[in-house]
């Protein structure tokens, strides 16, 4: 039996490279990201970017207004009460 997260594969990229890809925020992923609380689209605000990867910034929900930080190219999409405060 295979363990690990289940995912939907679109067939656009070779499957063998799927798990090797870094989990950085790329602008082209904005079409599939949604607010974990209300499932509405997120608006990206970039503070630092290298090539097409967002290094620091925020994702803001267009409906509920919740703000999700991006630090070190990794978005923190946890609900506010579960996030660690620096």
Which helix (H) or strand (E) segment holds residue 69: the answer is strand 67-71
Q: With a threshold of 0.75, does the pTM exceed it?
A: no
- Each residue of 63-74: pLDDT tens digit? 999 999 999 988
Check residue 82 and report its DSSP letter. Answer: G
Positions in the chain whose pLDDT score sits under 50: 1-22
Predicted local confidence at residue 47, as pLDDT:
94
Domains in the chain: boundaries: 23-82
């Amino acid at each position: 039996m295979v363990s690990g997260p289940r995912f939907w594969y679109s067939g656009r990229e070779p499957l063998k490279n799927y798990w090797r890809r870094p989990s950085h925020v790329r602008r082209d992923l904005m079409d599939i990201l949604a607010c974990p609380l209300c499932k509405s689209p997120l608006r990206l605000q970039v503070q630092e970017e290298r090539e097409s990867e967002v290094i620091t910034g925020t994702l803001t929900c267009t409906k509920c207004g919740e703000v999700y930080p991006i630090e070190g190219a990794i978005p923190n999409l946890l609900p506010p009460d579960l996030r660690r405060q620096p």
